[in-house]
Structure 1
């Protein structure tokens, strides 16, 4: 593969991936609503090409150890840099593959709805921002695309245009703009002291010097950077926007939780620790232990709040608050196993959570079931959806052989290596809480029948003997197939975790690079 493409040609790939989504957005915005086929073709073509390009980079970056890079002048003394390293490729692959599946899902979900060109236009801009975040080669470039993501996601959260949607979108904007301001202050302050900060394994040279000569300032800047990123990463107490944003369409919920916004925040935290400060410098400054504590508190708090929710999407939202913090825990442990588990969970959590949100959208669109108590008996009426939901739930709990088990096992090993055995107790407690809010849903789906008063949705066709009917309903293929594919990946990434190019193996390669 390397012999077919020169480094000069390869350096254009990250820019092409960025422009694909941007061009798609520019083409989609002016389209009339009735141009369904053309809009879908543009969406799927751009998403499919992005997957092909990211696959092209795998042997180049992981085997040949090349780092395709595109740069152009931006600010005085600082360039706009797009660089493909293993961590960038890891996140970009997650984004590209899940965005293709989410595009298929969104086309089927919105159907004949209103404002589809606006929706898919901003949808494509979100892809653009996420690709930019993935491939950012320095802190300035990251900041530009990170703030772009905030702005272009707002119309998606507010898509329905009703009072609840607009209120949730305003809350989202207040939180994320405040976090962006903190991030901006941190970036400017660090740049003043250290000069332009390029991402580099082991940390940027200038930042190391700042940490050596002015550790107090380095700690404050770290708090600003991670605090600003922690808003999108939904660290407690910065998580308040996320449950409110669940009024958005199901594809947007999937996008927020599994692909873009939340993942962008935690990906940024990984970048700051690994490639700005360096994990060794961060450990010496003593900033990792407080982050570890905050992440563990978030894990337990999110699980506890999920247990209290009757609305399915809100339960899943608080589950995200909990699960994404596993990544922060892994990085904060500062061990190879811990970092491996945390980075692997970027992908593992993404495929598991998008599966669950796909299923939540299917239940709501097919039968109007939006609450946990409306899911009774739906395993028999919607078996494909319920199978996918069950697999996603088992993955979140951490049952073998799912991807969730692999992540939690690695994190537990990392905690023991770091002499933080109490973190193992947090992981076990989290799994127990996960069981408490997921297993009753699984039981309700498969082993309970609706009562005579109808504790399931769409109970108009109830039979005379036993309440609601168990007649199977049609599950829309455009919505069901993406859910089944991500559910299959949830199992596959657990079963083939030791195979080259599996998420765990790539995460291990990234972790080893951090400590070398």
Structure 2
């Protein structure tokens, strides 16, 4: 029923005529609110120890399984909450744009795919929704229809479809070896360690390689910065809710549910993940430092930040596991805030470059505060959500006796500061254009709100949420609390 909400809303939106703006808005918001309520109901059931499962046999030995476990519900909660925020934002952002019906129809399909990934109970079901996500996000990437968008779309589809083939090959080899492995199985592959260790390593590399494209792990990240030509709501969706998060979530499933952390470590694959994640973290931060446009800087920041999730999963310890799961949620909330801010700056004042942010905090104070909160969270300063997950990752590295990883986190946070603090300084401590070429229109300064309410309030809400996730981290059902629940109930002895 939860999955059907997005599918039904997509069908209705694509059926409605283009000019039926009010009806389309009503369908969008109603479906998003209903989905949050249904996911909330599932969270309550999972918290009580109940896991709902839907299953049917496709062919002999292959089943389609939907299962609401604690990890899947955590990802479903993130996607459903941020879907509502992004939907509200997109309604305002695309108010006067053409092809709104197509946009919101595929937008709903994209969220349905993400929810299917979250609730998939085995790799067969996962890969169905994973490829559905690829196909439903392509029209969003090329939405503007100009040559730059079409070129970005071609690169995106080449990367992601190739990754899908690699992932499918890994799933096929795994099925040949062990049959239909479900995420509910306990250590399903440990019995094959002595006889098929080489094949298990090959399959692991294929699975993580296929998933690593969407997770933007180096050197598989090339599509992500180019996809920034898409509208701001799409960028927020790609980075915080859907595509990049789906790749990272899939890697967590492989490490914890398909192989198990013990077998992953025995095969030496945790070391591989540590190396790849560390390189990605530093590389993404360095590249972000040299970007002069705001959205590409945020894109390379995502390359770096999502790798924290993979790094935490490879530390083989409770604190690293909690840090990885918490950062999956925290990074999504903070990054969607930053892309909302970038969209507000671009739509209201035509600002796309870092050096054009001078004094914008006086003209758009709420958006400036939201950007500051999101940026400080990415750096990892208290009391933001980013501090909480980085603290757990750092202590997890100490627990795992991997001091070099602590160094990676420190260097990365320093680089984060180098590319975010100058933007914050420009926003608050530089003077903006008062007159002449590039001056902001006077009539906009006199408006009651700094930008359209549909754009402003989702930005403020997610900024407050990212701050509260740090301040109230110890409370029940906070992102950290739920990450701890998942780690303790599913993945730790």
TM norm structure 2: 0.97
* 2:29–2:87 CA contact under 8 A, matched in 1: yes
Query: Counterpart in 2 of 1:497?
Result: 473
Query: Counterpart in 2 of 1:244?
Result: 226
- Alignment map for 1:141-180 (pairs within 5 Å): 141-180=125-164
How has the CA–CA distance of structure 1 residues 454 and 495 changed in structure 2, closer, same or farther, with 3 Å as cutoff? farther
- Alignment map for 1:413-428 (pairs within 5 Å): 413-428=395-410
**Would you say 1:515 and 2:486 are equivalent positions?**
no
Find the aligned partners of 2:97 and 2:462 in 1 and give their Cα distance: 25
Find the aligned partners of 2:254 and 2:439 in 1 and give their Cα distance: 48
CA offset digits 1:75-131 (Å, max 9, x no partner): 331111100000001000000000001000000100021000000000010011011
Q: Secondary structure at the match of 2:58?
A: strand
Alignment partner for residue 380 of structure 2, among 398, 417, 430?
A: 398
Find the aligned partners of 1:342 and 1:454 in 2 and give their Cα distance: 49
How has the CA–CA distance of structure 1 residues 28 and 470 changed in structure 2, closer, same or farther, with 3 Å as cutoff? closer
Query: Counterpart in 2 of 1:352?
Result: 334
- Name structure 2 gaps, 5 residues minimum: none
**Would you say 1:382 and 2:364 are equivalent positions?**
yes
Find the aligned partners of 2:409 and 2:214 in 1 and give their Cα distance: 22
- Alignment map for 1:303-314 (pairs within 5 Å): 303-314=285-296
Alignment partner for residue 197 of structure 1, among 159, 181, 201?
A: 181
**Would you say 1:187 and 2:171 are equivalent positions?**
yes
- Alignment map for 1:448-459 (pairs within 5 Å): 448-450=430-432, 458-459=439-440
How has the CA–CA distance of structure 1 residues 305 and 99 changed in structure 2, closer, same or farther, with 3 Å as cutoff? same
Query: Counterpart in 2 of 1:443?
Result: 425
Q: Secondary structure at the match of 2:63?
A: strand
* 1:202–1:515 CA contact under 8 A, matched in 2: no
Find the aligned partners of 1:458 and 1:159 in 2 and give their Cα distance: 30
Query: Counterpart in 1 of 2:282?
Result: 300
* Number of residue equivalences: 492
Shift of 1:451: 5.9
CA RMSD of aligned residues (A): 1.7
Alignment partner for residue 105 of structure 2, among 117, 121, 134?
A: 121
Shift of 1:60: 1.1
Query: Counterpart in 1 of 2:324?
Result: 342
Find the aligned partners of 2:417 and 2:272 in 1 and give their Cα distance: 28
Find the aligned partners of 1:453 and 1:483 in 2 and give their Cα distance: 28
* 1:381–1:471 CA contact under 8 A, matched in 2: no
Alignment partner for residue 34 of structure 2, among 42, 49, 67?
A: 49
* 2:473–2:480 CA contact under 8 A, matched in 1: yes
Farther off after superposition, 493-502 or 183-192: 493-502
Shift of 1:458: 4.6
Alignment partner for residue 347 of structure 2, among 365, 368, 385?
A: 365
Shift of 1:443: 0.6
* 1:202–1:514 CA contact under 8 A, matched in 2: no
**Would you say 1:316 and 2:316 are equivalent positions?**
no
* 2:433–2:440 CA contact under 8 A, matched in 1: no
* 1:377–1:448 CA contact under 8 A, matched in 2: yes
CA offset digits 1:208-246 (Å, max 9, x no partner): 222332100000100000000000000000000000000
Find the aligned partners of 1:506 and 1:514 in 2 and give their Cα distance: 13
* 1:202–1:277 CA contact under 8 A, matched in 2: no
Query: Counterpart in 1 of 2:460?
Result: 484
Find the aligned partners of 1:235 and 1:275 in 2 and give their Cα distance: 21
Find the aligned partners of 2:236 and 2:294 in 1 and give their Cα distance: 13
* 2:360–2:432 CA contact under 8 A, matched in 1: no
How has the CA–CA distance of structure 1 residues 201 and 376 changed in structure 2, closer, same or farther, with 3 Å as cutoff? farther
Find the aligned partners of 1:453 and 1:293 in 2 and give their Cα distance: 51
CA offset digits 1:427-471 (Å, max 9, x no partner): 01111101011010011001100368979x554559xxxxx9899
CA offset digits 1:388-417 (Å, max 9, x no partner): 000000100001000000000000010001
Q: Secondary structure at the match of 1:373?
A: helix
Q: Secondary structure at the match of 2:15?
A: coil
TM norm structure 1: 0.93
Find the aligned partners of 1:379 and 1:324 in 2 and give their Cα distance: 28
Q: Secondary structure at the match of 1:129?
A: helix
- Alignment map for 1:93-104 (pairs within 5 Å): 93-104=77-88
Query: Counterpart in 1 of 2:210?
Result: 228
CA offset digits 1:366-401 (Å, max 9, x no partner): 111011111111000000111100000010000100
CA offset digits 1:21-40 (Å, max 9, x no partner): 00111111122221111001
